[in-house]
């Protein structure tokens, strides 16, 4: 991620200098595919009889390069292809014009940024030397690497800006269009690279865009796949430091290019759910408290820096798991958190995006479930919005590896979530969070479950006071029954309830962990040093081999959150100028002043809280496996009995 102080403004005049060549490229060029295969036979122009083409074919040369002809008789005419997406109407529709203008604008910006890159890195001089025939042999490798880097930059900028501009259209692109893999990615030079990309886009439009609505969806799907593949290539490509270290800004379009990070239009989702207020969440004190804190943490995100101070300080919850019995309030907790974030964002004028990954995402078509899950992730992590993604009933949605009852689609979703939540390319900016919820967390794959950085035990009402409060809340106002000797909602006073809940974890809750805790205390004494705490962690691992290094990371992250146990005042949410609109460094300083030191008590409580959840999951999982085994053995015995009776 580049430093925002390195933001470079692209001049509009420089962009428009490339309009003519971009328009000519869309009108027509010759390209023979080198990697991909044609998806459809190239049909004649889709025009009514007697309507001539407007432009002749155009073959562009690359300044500084000696190129070979790749001509083929039919050529690529993207303007005609786009305008033919709705049949024989000779006039382009507004949507078709929008797509073509977006493509032209994106091509022009891609050329502009590549020009800047080439001049910054000296590639422009090498191209001029090559054109004049005086390129030294020892510079040939650097020349080839520079051309490949320029090609990747052009492709990514073209795809990112096209996707950004068409998202601004009135109609949202149709989702779920499967166009297959992007293959024609060429890196000889940027002109060949863009020709290959436009050729493949032309093929996809011809094969899949049989209506105007699908046209936009096909273009969007192609841009998404092209960005993903180019970004993957760029991870190992040389000579990209100059591009990655500078962010480019196109002011007229409110568009920023920041390395190989996709930029999307910051749109909010329209929420139709019934929001809940915090006092309507009865019990679940720690879960409610952390959800309320996390809602405010998200609002500290800085859209200019693309980073959250809490993420930099190490106290941000990127993923969490809420588990509990049916009817204990998981859905209510989601409604409360989404309502809080939505209200804060509305007040601050920030775009907010909420989405739930439902069981409808599981598809029998190979690869489609993974595609649906990836689209869900990308929609929420968009750095231009505040995002909240939920995966309700994750035990039904994500398959458990090794479980014969898990479908291929469920296993695809598991793989995508694991890679997205804690993969090599995961970047936690602090603009979004993901919540996984389940009544049966023991049925969730162990590795996926451990990618939940925080655990929210959603155990519902626990005390007499909780049950009185929830009875009063659910009855409503259509009664005159006296409350009696009870102070309504006093037990839900959050700070008092949370303090008591945290203190209760000074000792374990689960029987298995209680035994480990007692044995360690008896063997080495009180857990008052890092050495003794480490011995406790090792003893837990000896008792449950699934307690790994990732568990330690999750525990330390939870302790850092406790150290950042700051209650951002409601006034800061109501009056954004007090905090939300301040510069990033000032927000960082304000939060740092409110932090408190980590204590032994915090660490013990978080170890017990996390380990309790793992022991609880393991016990349930083992019991379920034993019950299934007993049931299978009983069936086999009955089958044997019937078999012997039949033979007799």
Biggest distance spanned by C-alpha atoms of the chain: 97
Percent of the chain clearing pLDDT 90 (strictly above): 40
* For the chain, domain boundaries: 4-41+75-258, 278-626
The reported pLDDT for the residue numbered 538 is 93
pLDDT at 271 over 90: no
Could you tell me where the DSSP H helices lie in 52-174? 78-83, 94-121, 123-131, 140-167
Q: Which helix (H) or strand (E) holds 587?
A: helix 584-594
pLDDT surpasses 60 at 171: no
Backbone angles phi, psi at 280, to 5 degrees: -85, -5
Average pLDDT of 281-302? 87
Q: How confident is the model at residue 71 (pLDDT cuts 50, 70, 90)?
A: very low
Asked whether the beta carbons of 42 and 199 are under 8 A apart, the reply is: no
User: Which region among 57-66, 80-89, 163-172, 258-267 has the lowest average model confidence (pLDDT)?
Assistant: 57-66
Query: Who wins on pLDDT, 85 or 499?
Result: 85
Average of per-residue pLDDT across 74-81: 86
β-sheet with 352-356: strand ranges across: 352-356, 386-391, 432-438, 319-323, 454-457
Q: Of residues 266 and 7, which shows the higher confidence score?
A: 7
The more confidently predicted of residues 114 and 550 is 114
Lowest mean pLDDT across 187-196, 486-495, 548-557, 626-635: 486-495
Q: What is the mean pLDDT of residues 471-482?
A: 85
Comparing 238-252, 267-281, 338-352, 625-639, the range with the smallest average pLDDT is: 267-281
**Residue 58: per-residue pLDDT:** 39
* Chain center to CA of 621: 29
Among the ranges 3-17, 44-58, 114-128, 206-220, which has the highest mean pLDDT value?
114-128
Beta-bridge mates of residue 258: 247, 261
Backbone angles phi, psi at 389, to 5 degrees: -115, 135
Q: What's the sign of the alpha-carbon dihedral 91, 95, 99, 101? A: positive
Which one has a higher pLDDT value, 615 or 142? 142
Per-residue pLDDT band at 266 (split at 50, 70, 90): low
Q: Contact at 8 Å (CB) between 168 and 128?
A: no
Distance CA 337, CA 316 (A): 16
Yes or no: domain 278-626 corresponds to CATH 3.40.50.300 = yes
3-class SS at 275?
coil
What is the structure's pLDDT at 60? Answer: 43
What is the average pLDDT value for the chain, to the nearest integer? Answer: 84
pLDDT of residue 175: 61
> What is the distance, to the nearest Å, from the Cα of residue 5 to the centroid of all Cα atoms in its chain?
26
pLDDT at residue 272, as a whole number: 63
Where does residue 284 rank: exposed (0-12), middle (13-18), buried (19+ CB within 10 A)? buried
H or E, element range at 603: helix 600-647
pLDDT surpasses 70 at 59: no
Nearest to 397 by CA among 338, 356, 458: 356
Could you tell me which residue, 204 or 88, shows the higher pLDDT?
204
Q: Say what angle helices 285-299 and 494-504 make with each other, to 10 degrees.
A: 120
- 141-150, 214-223, 279-288, 312-321: which range is least confident on average? 279-288
- The percent of residues in the chain predicted with pLDDT above 70, rounded, is 87
Using alpha carbons, select from 499, 607, 459 the residue that is nearest to residue 547.
607
Query: Which of 5-14, 40-49, 54-63, 365-374 is least confident?
Result: 54-63
Q: Which of 513, 612, 598, 504 is nearest to 556 (CA)?
A: 598
Most confident of 18-22, 282-286, 477-481: 18-22
Cβ pair 121, 146 in contact under 8 A:
yes
Q: What is the reported pLDDT for 57?
A: 36
Residues 6+ apart with CB under 8 A from 611: 508, 510, 513, 540, 547, 551
pLDDT band, very low/low/confident/very high, at 223 (cuts 50, 70, 90): very high
Mean pLDDT calculated for residue range 612-632: 72
Distance of CA 281 to the CA centre of its chain: 28
pLDDT at 50: 37
For residues 541-570, average pLDDT: 83
The pLDDT assigned to 625 comes to: 66
Question: With 50 as the cut, is the pLDDT of residue 40 above it?
Answer: yes
The per-residue b/e assignment along 221-232, b for 16 or more CB within 10 angstroms, e otherwise, is bbbbbbbebbbe
Please check the confidence at residue 52 and state whether its pLDDT lies above 70. no
Alpha carbon distance 106, 114 (integer Å): 12
Whose CA is closest to 283, among 493, 434, 487?
Answer: 493
pLDDT at 590 over 50: yes
pLDDT at 461: 81
Q: Per-residue pLDDT for 488 more than 90?
A: no
pLDDT score recorded for residue 621 = 58
236 compared with 175, residue with greater pLDDT = 236
pLDDT of residue 458: 82
Q: DSSP per residue over 339-395, as a string?
A: HHHHHHHHHHT--EEEEE--GGG--SSTTHHHHHHHHHHHHHH-TTSEEEEEETTHH
Distance CA 505, CA 605 (A): 5
- 259 Cα distance to chain centroid: 17
DSSP symbol at 512 = H
Q: Among 58-72, 171-185, 523-537, which range has the highest average pLDDT?
A: 523-537
Q: What is the band of 227 on the pLDDT scale with cuts at 50, 70, 90?
A: very high
Q: How confident is the model at residue 172 (pLDDT cuts 50, 70, 90)?
A: low
First and final C-alpha spacing in the chain: 77
């Amino acid at each position: 991620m580049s430093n925002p102080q390195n933001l470079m403004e692209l001049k509009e005049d420089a962009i428009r200098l490339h309009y003519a060549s971009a328009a000519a490229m869309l009108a027509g060029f010759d390209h023979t595919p080198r990697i991909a295969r044609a998806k459809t036979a190239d049909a004649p122009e889709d025009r009514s009889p007697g309507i001539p083409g407007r432009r002749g074919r155009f073959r562009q040369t690359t300044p500084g390069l000696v190129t070979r002809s790749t001509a083929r008789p039919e050529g690529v005419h993207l303007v005609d292809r786009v305008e033919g997406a709705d049949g024989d109407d000779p006039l382009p529709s507004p949507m078709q014009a929008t797509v073509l203008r977006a493509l032209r604008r994106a091509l022009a910006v891609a050329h502009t940024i590549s020009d800047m890159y080439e001049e910054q890195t000296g590639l422009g001089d090498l191209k001029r030397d090559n054109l004049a025939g005086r390129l030294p042999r020892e510079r040939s490798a650097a020349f080839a690497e520079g051309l490949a880097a320029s090609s990747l930059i052009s492709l990514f900028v073209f795809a990112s800006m096209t996707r950004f501009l068409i998202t601004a259209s009135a109609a949202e692109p149709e989702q779920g269009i499967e166009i297959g893999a992007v293959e024609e990615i060429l890196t000889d030079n940027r002109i060949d690279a863009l020709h290959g990309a436009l050729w493949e886009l032309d093929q996809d439009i011809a094969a899949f865009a049989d209506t105007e609505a699908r046209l936009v969806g096909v273009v969007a799907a192609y841009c998404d796949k092209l960005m993903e593949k180019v970004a993957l290539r760029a991870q190992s490509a040389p000579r990209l430091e100059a591009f990655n270290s500078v962010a480019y800004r196109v002011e007229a379009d409110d568009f920023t290019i920041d390395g190989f990070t996709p930029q999307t239009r910051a749109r909010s989702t329209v929420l139709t759910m019934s929001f809940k207020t915090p006092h309507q969440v009865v019990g679940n004190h720690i879960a409610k408290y952390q959800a309320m804190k996390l809602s405010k943490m998200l609002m500290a995100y800085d859209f200019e820096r693309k980073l959250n101070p809490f993420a930099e300080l190490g106290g941000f919850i990127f993923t969490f798991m809420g588990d509990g019995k049916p009817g204990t309030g998981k859905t209510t907790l989601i409604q409360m958190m989404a309502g809080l974030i939505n209200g804060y964002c509305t007040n601050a004028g920030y775009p907010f995006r909420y989405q739930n990954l439902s069981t409808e995402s599981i598809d029998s078509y190979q690869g489609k479930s993974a595609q649906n899950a990836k689209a869900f992730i990308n929609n929420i992590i968009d750095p231009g919005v505040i995002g909240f993604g939920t995966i309700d009933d994750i035990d039904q949605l994500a398959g458990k590896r090794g479980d014969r009852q898990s479908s291929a689609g469920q296993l695809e979703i598991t793989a995508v979530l694991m890679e997205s939540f804690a993969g090599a390319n995961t970047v936690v900016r602090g603009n979004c969070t993901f919540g996984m919820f389940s009544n049966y967390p023991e049925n969730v794959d162990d590795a996926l479950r451990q990618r939940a950085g925080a655990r929210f035990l959603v155990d519902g009402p626990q005390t007499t006071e909780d049950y009185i409060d929830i009875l009063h809340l659910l009855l409503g106002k259509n009664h005159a029954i006296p409350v009696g000797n009870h102070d309504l909602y006093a037990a839900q006073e959050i700070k008092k309830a949370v303090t008591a809940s945290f203190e209760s974890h000074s000792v374990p809750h689960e029987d298995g962990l209680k035994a480990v805790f007692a044995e360690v205390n008896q063997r080495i004494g009180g857990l008052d040093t890092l050495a003794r705490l480490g011995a406790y962690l090792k003893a837990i691992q000896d008792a449950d081999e699934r307690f790994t290094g990732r568990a330690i990371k999750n525990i330390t992250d939870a302790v850092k959150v406790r150290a950042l146990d700051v209650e951002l005042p409601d006034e800061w949410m109501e009056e954004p100028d007090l905090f939300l609109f301040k510069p990033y460094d000032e927000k960082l300083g304000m939060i740092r002043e409110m932090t408190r030191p980590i204590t032994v008590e915090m660490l013990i409580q978080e170890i017990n809280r996390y380990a309790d959840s793992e022991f609880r999951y393991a016990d349930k999982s083992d019991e379920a496996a034993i019950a299934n085994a007993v049931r299978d053995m009983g069936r086999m015995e009955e089958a044997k009995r019937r078999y012997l009776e039949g033979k007799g």
